[in-house]
């Protein structure tokens, strides 16, 4: 095999956060796992499907631990490394923390990818870690059938600055910090139907660190944060709704979208993960009459290294949105609100 010219995206059956197990499958797998136990220091575990685990060391410091890895959604190895690293670090920011170090997770099909390509993947990941101000302090590698790369990331935060996905309050405004459509773009890319300018737009989004999460967590009017990744805005919104015991109302007309996302979705460039997502959590979603299938696909589209979904006090929403935009997230929008009611997501 020519290991120099192989397309990374063609070596995997799925790519990016579209590789995630469907929510329903994950729920089945975890249903009989033993309870974590009465660890007083464990502030956040698996109970609300939050973004990372949190362990309180003392009155001043919490440790945040997470891991994320996937197969390539692009062919450029440097870009693949950057995307995977940005996505993994995001979980720390989503909890309100700051990363302090990372460990690399690497699986490569020997004989299909040359050493130069693997070095570029690692270089891309290290470049993003350097941008976040952290070292890649170690890791682990294996020979596996499809290429896999990601990070285990450790971060810290003060106990009062931890932000869970379950802290939304009735009346809160909902802000989304990045545009949707990454899964649709990646599906088009794999079929050679994504224009160069659209590819550049996608890369710009998926390599943008969600570091704004650590800043927002210092604001007491920011009540809940989660990042929107493989389950789409509906799936991660539903996790916030269930964890908070509220209805999230999302205005689909206000959702920020990548420029070509609508036209590509209309043409049928969607991922299998989008359909699996809908099949997993449709019973928790209320859709408006007349919503087209392609519009629903935008709502369930798996986001690789997506934005943050933020619940904040309604009287501060415009100010907080302005701060997010000024910090370098021009696609950020207020997309809805949290309401008293059954734990579900209502699209209006």
The model's pTM is 0.94
Q: How far apart are CA 247 and CA 240, in angstroms?
A: 9
The tokens describing 163, both together, are 């932000």
**19 labelled catalytic:** no
**Does domain 8-26+36-161 correspond to CATH entry 3.50.50.60?**
no
The tokens describing 40, both together, are 């007083």
Q: Give the pLDDT of residue 47.
A: 85
Are 329 and 205 within 8 A, CB to CB? Answer: no
Q: How far apart are CA 263 and CA 247, in angstroms?
A: 30
What are residue 148's DSSP bridge partners? 107
Q: How many angstroms separate the first and last alpha carbons of the chain?
A: 51
Q: How far apart are CA 283 and CA 279, in angstroms?
A: 9
Which option is the CATH number for 173-347: 3.90.650.10, 3.40.50.2030, 1.10.3720.10, 3.30.2350.10? 3.90.650.10
Q: State the catalytic residue, choosing from 17, 19, 62, 312.
A: 17
Are 248 and 169 within 8 A, CB to CB? Answer: no
Domain boundaries, the chain: 8-26+36-161, 173-347
Q: Give the pLDDT of residue 46.
A: 83
Residue 18 half-sphere exposure, CB side, CA atoms within 13 Å? 26
Are 19 and 107 within 8 A, CB to CB? Answer: no
Q: Give the pLDDT of residue 37.
A: 66
Burial class (CB in 10 A: 0-12, 13-18, 19+), 196: exposed
The tokens describing 218, both together, are 């210092």
Q: Give the pLDDT of residue 161.
A: 97
The tokens describing 110, both together, are 């020997």
Q: How far apart are CA 178 and CA 332, in angstroms?
A: 6
> Are 8-26+36-161 and 173-347 equal in CATH topology?
no
Say how many C-beta atoms besides its own lie within 10 A of residue 156's C-beta.
17
Q: How far apart are CA 309 and CA 286, in angstroms?
A: 19
Residue-by-residue pLDDT tens, the chain, 348 positions? 445 667 898 887 777 767 777 777 777 777 777 766 678 889 998 888 888 999 999 999 999 999 999 999 999 999 999 999 999 999 999 999 999 999 999 999 988 999 999 999 999 999 999 999 999 999 999 999 999 999 999 999 999 999 999 999 999 999 999 999 999 999 999 999 999 999 999 999 999 999 999 999 999 999 999 999 999 999 999 999 999 999 999 999 999 999 999 999 999 999 999 999 999 999 999 999 999 999 999 999 999 999 999 999 999 999 999 999 999 999 999 999 999 999 999 999
Residue of 22, 49, 46 whose CA lies nearest to 33: 46
The alpha carbon dihedral of 312, 49, 131, 187 has a sign of negative
């Amino acid at each position: 095999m020519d290991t120099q010219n192989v397309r990374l995206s063609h070596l995997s059956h799925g790519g990016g956060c579209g590789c995630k197990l469907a929510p329903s499958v994950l729920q089945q797998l975890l249903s009989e796992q033993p309870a974590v136990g009465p660890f007083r220091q464990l502030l956040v575990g698996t109970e609300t499907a939050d973004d990372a685990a949190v362990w309180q060391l003392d009155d001043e410091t919490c440790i945040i631990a997470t891991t994320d890895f996937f197969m390539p959604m692009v062919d450029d190895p440097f870009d693949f490394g950057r995307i995977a690293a940005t996505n993994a670090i995001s979980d720390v920011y989503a909890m309100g923390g700051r990363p302090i170090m990372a460990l690399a997770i690497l699986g490569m099909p020997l004989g299909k990818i040359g050493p130069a390509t693997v070095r570029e993947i690692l270089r891309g990941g290290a470049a993003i870690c350097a941008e976040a101000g952290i070292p890649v302090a170690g890791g682990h590698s294996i020979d596996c059938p499809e290429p896999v790369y990601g990070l285990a990331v450790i971060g810290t935060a003060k106990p009062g600055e931890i932000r869970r996905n379950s802290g939304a309050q009735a009346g809160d405004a909902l802000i989304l910090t990045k545009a949707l459509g990454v899964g649709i773009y990646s599906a088009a890319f794999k079929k050679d139907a994504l224009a160069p300018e659209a590819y550049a737009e996608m890369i710009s989004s998926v390599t943008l660190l969600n570091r704004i999460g650590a800043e927002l967590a210092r604001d007491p009017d920011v009540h809940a944060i989660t990042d929107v990744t493989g389950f789409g805005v509906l799936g991660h919104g539903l996790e916030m709704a269930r964890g908070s015991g509220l209805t999230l109302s999302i205005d689909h007309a206000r959702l920020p979208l990548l420029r070509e996302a609508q036209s590509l979705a209309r043409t049928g460039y969607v991922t299998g993960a989008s359909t699996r997502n809908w099949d997993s959590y449709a019973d928790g979603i209320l859709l408006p009459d007349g919503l087209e299938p392609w519009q629903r696909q935008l709502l369930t589209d798996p986001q690789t290294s997506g934005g943050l979904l933020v619940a904040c006090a309604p009287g501060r929403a415009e100010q907080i949105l302005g701060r997010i935009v000024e910090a370098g997230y021009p696609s950020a929008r207020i997309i809805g609100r949290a309401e008293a009611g059954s734990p579900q997501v209502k699209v209006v």
